[in-house]
Amino acid sequence: MCLLRVLSAEFIFTICRFAHSLPFATVQAEEISDSRPAEVLNLVQGKWAGSSNWNTVVDPLNGDSFIKVAEVDETGIQPFVESLSSCPKHGVHNPFKAPERYLMFGEISAKAAHMLSLPKVSDFFTRLIQRVSPKSYQQAFGEVYVTQKFLENFCGDQVRFLARSFGVPGNHLGQQSHGFRWPYGPVAIITPFNFPLEIPVLQLMGALYMGNKPVLKVDSKVSIVMDQMLRLLHNCGLPLEDVDFINSDGKTMNKLLLEANPRMTLFTGSSRVAEKLAVDLKGRVKLEDAGFDWKILGPDVLQEDYIAWVCDQDAYACSGQKCSAQSLLFMHENWSKTSLLSKLKDLADRRKLADLTVGPVLTVTTDSMLEHINKLLEIPGSKLLFGGQPLEDHSIPPIYGAMKPTAVYVPLEEIMKAKNFELVTREIFGPFQEVIGQSVNGTAYAGLRARTTGAPQNHWFGPAGDARGAGIGTPEAIKLVWSCHREIIYDFGPVPKNWEVPPST
């Protein structure tokens, strides 16, 4: 077409060509199926590679075998160990070494952000996420959008601004002390199934920006998303050697970590695994496993419709897989006189499998959830508010869960009997101020309009109060998680005239 000949730039060409297909992609999100399964490869030492050992992922909506993952077993980790070990502990770049790489990542981020802003590309990733981590289109698109905005935050010079140092005048002419942000060098990133794009991209780019060489492992059930995203990043200029990507079971990954000995491992996932990793890696970890676990409605009743909607979204969007299963809604008795609970029920009833506003639960089976509900209902005074039954007319495979949105009422005085709950319940009836000042719940959302899903994309998300705690989503999080302080004292001052050797001390 003549129109394209006018332009000499490869990049524009690439963009316009997207109208047809995505040059980086190796799959088509909606056509992955039993008969045309997608393949997830590994990336090490700059090369994509398959495996003799293919793991099969089943479609969470119908049980079909639809993705083949090239799994690395313990015999195959050597190239990954070598790749990681080849990175010196002062990193691939730092404020004194290869500063041009800070600029390179500014350019990669600008290009990748622009790619994700293209409707065809964002649609591709949104649908791919939906295939492996079923949630509504809007929820899946939210991941893509936040990822795009994150990349926009680190265009141009903003990556090198992350490496901003400071200096303080010294004691005498020629002396200054400087503080730098230094990379760890070889690092590992392990991320879970619930946010297949957002969590790995944000942590991966953070690690790269600061000068680290990461090996990335994403839950195999959803790793197809990052397989494709890495290809997009390569397309935008990321050198193939800069990131290794591995699919394996936990045992193999553990072995890799022990042999390659990364100087830092970022783990996002269950606290059980987190605690084990902390021991195995002797504390050289940053952990992110917390979120927003409860909501408190104080004595002032107002904006009932709005509050009901926020409660419904925060509890059931993504089938509750953003929050942990034991999420709580503390409600002052004034609210019980309102129609809030009936409104909550109505909103829950709107959710349906067809548009994935409710969908499969990837880590808990239907039976386990029913059992948990029954135990709760044994508590005196408790009752089922709504839900409590399996989804109907579905083909979700039995290894996954399939439940209607459910709420169980438990009287506060019963909760108060429970071990450890005294503190919690003592806190909740205080006024706002007190609650903030006397808690340590990581990220908190205060105010009438406060929502987890309506917060600015740039806020720090992560636990507070854990010395190993990681954060995600902001320049501060990148700097604290992915770099450490290094101090250099310069002392180029002249030796004073007539200096003489002083006595020993």
- Which residues between 150 and 169 bind a second copy (CB under 8 A)? 150-153, 155-158, 160-161, 163-169
- Which residues between 342 and 371 bind a second copy (CB under 8 A)? 347, 350-351, 357
Binding segment for a second copy (CB under 8 A), chosen from 194-202, 245-253, 323-331, 446-454, is 446-454
Q: Based on CB atoms, which residue is closest to a second copy, 393 or 492? A: 492
Q: Based on CB atoms, which residue is closest to a second copy, 30 or 491? A: 491
Q: How far is the CB of 82 from a second copy (least distance, A)?
A: 16
Q: How far is the CB of 49 from a second copy (least distance, A)?
A: 29
Binding segment for a second copy (CB under 8 A), chosen from 78-86, 89-97, 201-209, 375-383, is 89-97
Is 288 a known active-site residue?
yes
Is 323 a known active-site residue?
yes
- Which residues between 261 and 320 bind a second copy (CB under 8 A)? 263-264, 275, 278-279, 281-286, 303, 305-306, 308-309, 312-313, 316-317
Q: Based on CB atoms, which residue is closest to a second copy, 147 or 220? A: 147
**Residue 501 φ/ψ, nearest 5 degrees:** -60, 120
Binding segment for a second copy (CB under 8 A), chosen from 88-96, 124-132, 245-253, 385-393, is 88-96
Looking at 14, 176, 261, 425, which residue binds a second copy (CB under 8 A)?
176
Looking at 47, 89, 383, 417, which residue binds a second copy (CB under 8 A)?
89
CA dihedral (196, 197, 203, 204) positive or negative: positive
Q: Which of 87, 236, 318, 323 is catalytic?
A: 323
Looking at 14, 55, 117, 324, which residue binds a second copy (CB under 8 A)?
117
Q: CA–CA distance from 260 to each of 29, 209, 211, 222, 252 (Å)?
A: 34, 21, 18, 25, 12
Looking at 35, 420, 492, 498, which residue binds a second copy (CB under 8 A)?
492
Q: What is the dihedral of CA 433, 434, 435, 441, to 10 degrees?
A: 100
Q: How far is the CB of 296 from a second copy (least distance, A)?
A: 14
DSSP letter assigned to residue 430: S
Give the total residue count for the chain: 505
Q: Based on CB atoms, which residue is closest to a second copy, 34 or 305? A: 305
Q: Does 202 bind a second copy (CB under 8 A)?
A: no
Q: What is the token pair recorded at 244?
A: 């290794």
Binding segment for a second copy (CB under 8 A), chosen from 61-69, 240-248, 371-379, 484-492, is 484-492
Q: Does 399 bind a second copy (CB under 8 A)?
A: no
Tokens 């030796």 found at: 495
Q: How far is the CB of 293 from a second copy (least distance, A)?
A: 15
Q: Based on CB atoms, which residue is closest to a second copy, 72 or 264? A: 264
Measure the CA–CA gap between 378 and 439, rounded to whole angstroms.
30
Closest-CA residue to 83 (of 99, 72, 96): 72
Q: What is the token pair recorded at 368?
A: 């386990």
Q: What is the token pair recorded at 83?
A: 């790749």
Measure the CA–CA gap between 302 and 289, rounded to whole angstroms.
33
Binding segment for a second copy (CB under 8 A), chosen from 93-101, 194-202, 370-378, 385-393, is 93-101
Give the number of C-alpha atoms closer than 13 A to the C-alpha of residue 177, restricted to the C-beta side.
6
Q: Does 16 bind a second copy (CB under 8 A)?
A: yes
The burial of 31, by beta-carbon neighbours within 10 Å (0-12 exposed, 13-18 middle, 19 or more buried), is given as: exposed
Q: CA–CA distance from 305 to each of 309, 312, 317, 408, 410 (Å)?
A: 6, 11, 17, 20, 23
- Which residues between 407 and 426 bind a second copy (CB under 8 A)? 423
Q: Does 98 bind a second copy (CB under 8 A)?
A: yes
Q: Does 460 bind a second copy (CB under 8 A)?
A: yes
Q: Which of 288, 304, 311, 422 is catalytic?
A: 288
Looking at 49, 173, 258, 325, which residue binds a second copy (CB under 8 A)?
173
Give the number of C-alpha atoms closer than 13 A to the C-alpha of residue 465, restricted to the C-beta side.
9
Q: Does 177 bind a second copy (CB under 8 A)?
A: yes
DSSP letter assigned to residue 104: H
The DSSP bridge pattern shows strands 328-331 and 294-297 to be: parallel
**Residue 112 φ/ψ, nearest 5 degrees:** -65, -40
Looking at 60, 76, 106, 320, which residue binds a second copy (CB under 8 A)?
106
Looking at 185, 192, 214, 388, which residue binds a second copy (CB under 8 A)?
185
Roughly how many angstroms between the first and final C-alpha of the chain, as a whole number? Answer: 82
Measure the CA–CA gap between 80 and 67, rounded to whole angstroms.
23
- Which residues between 32 and 71 bind a second copy (CB under 8 A)? none
Q: Based on CB atoms, which residue is closest to a second copy, 350 or 417? A: 350
Tokens 């995203």 found at: 229
Q: What is the token pair recorded at 284?
A: 């050289």
Q: How far is the CB of 34 from a second copy (least distance, A)?
A: 28
> Are the C-beta atoms of 431 and 395 separated by less than 8 Å?
no
Based on C-alpha coordinates, what's the Rg of the chain? 26
Q: How far is the CB of 483 from a second copy (least distance, A)?
A: 10
Q: What is the token pair recorded at 193?
A: 């199934």
Residues annotated catalytic, as ranges: 288, 323
